Amino acid sequence: MCYNAGMELYFAPMEGITDYIYRRVHRRYFPGVDMYFTPFLSPTQNHVFPPRELRQVDPANNEGVPLTPQLLTKNAADFLWAAGRLADMGYREVDLNVGCPSGTVTAKGKGAGLLAEPDSLRRLLDGIFRAPPTAVSVKTRLGIRDPEEFGPILDIYNDYPISRLIIHPRTKGEMYAGPVHLDVYGAALAASRAPVCYNGDIRSPAHIRAIFERFPATAAVMIGRGLAADPALAARAKGQSPPRETLRAFHRELGEAYCAAFGGPASALHRMKAIWALMLTGFAGGERYAKALGKTRRWEDLLSLTDRLLDSLEPAGEEGPGQFETGH
């Protein structure tokens, strides 16, 4: 199946990776991403964005980047304040995080923790949708322990004019391990009143094509780790093949941007190592370099190592669809 140009690809929010610097440089080198999502902002009752969060959504830092801010909260008043502030900046949609499975988040009843108390989720949505200043999308998981929990949860979502429902078809307890529940996703897709976006375990153009083929009503596919591992993934899925030198230029410009933003290579080294730890998984045999990457302590050594990697390794390529294959 050829990629359908009417179906969209989104870059998932990834804390510590997809900040405004990464998004801006990625957009310059790799086409194909229709929407980027910010790592979550956490509005509080003080109703002030900290400088670090403000930098992430400052329109001047995101010029030319299609962007949806994501909010993490269990308080409708805090959500509405933040959405209003973002609307003033020119944003027309914000995303509510009901999917983060981190224990430090869910213990506070936020993210996927909201799924443990459907009444609390309904009260939150009641408050948000009384008079939202922007369109509101929701990124969700299936439940806490059992994917069958999602039926009643979807009934709640269907009571509100959600602009899009982004479903990661795992439970909170499953984190990012084990198979995604495609049967539950398919049932939710058929029953949802909002357009549905698929998210989870997309690592190749074959995976993207398989999701759209098996679930043609899917409005979009959101990709996180797969795009961080292969920054050209969305472009390749849309029939473009950026040359190897594009990846080298992307890496160099990204490193220079972090050096400038962080005040020098010493502070930028940690961020670039985190990015390359994910990128290694996008190369056949890249795991051989993981130990050397972890031991790198100097900026010059990182540049030398990544140059050797780009010279010697090939992208992982067109991985088979596996669990996404039509008919499974």
Yes or no: say if 112 and 98 are a contact pair by the CB < 8 Å rule: yes
Residue 228 CB burial class (10 angstroms; 0-12, 13-18, ≥19): buried
Please list the pLDDT of the chain residue by residue as tens digits (328 residues): 344 556 799 999 999 999 999 999 999 999 999 999 999 999 988 999 999 999 999 999 999 999 999 999 999 999 999 999 999 999 999 999 999 999 999 999 999 999 999 999 999 999 999 999 999 999 999 999 999 999 999 999 999 999 999 999 999 999 999 999 999 999 999 999 999 999 999 999 999 999 999 999 999 999 999 999 999 999 999 999 888 899 999 999 999 999 999 999 999 999 999 999 999 998 888 889 999 999 999 999 999 999 999 888 877 765 545 566 543 3
Distance CA 25, CA 260 (A): 13
DSSP class of residue 322 equals G
DSSP class of residue 49 equals -
Q: Which CATH superfamily is domain 8-237 in?
A: Aldolase class I (3.20.20.70)
User: What residues contact 91, with CB distance under 8 A and at least 6 apart?
Assistant: 57, 67, 68, 69, 134
Note the pTM of the prediction, 2 decimals: 0.94
Handedness of CA 12, 14, 20, 23 (dihedral sign): negative
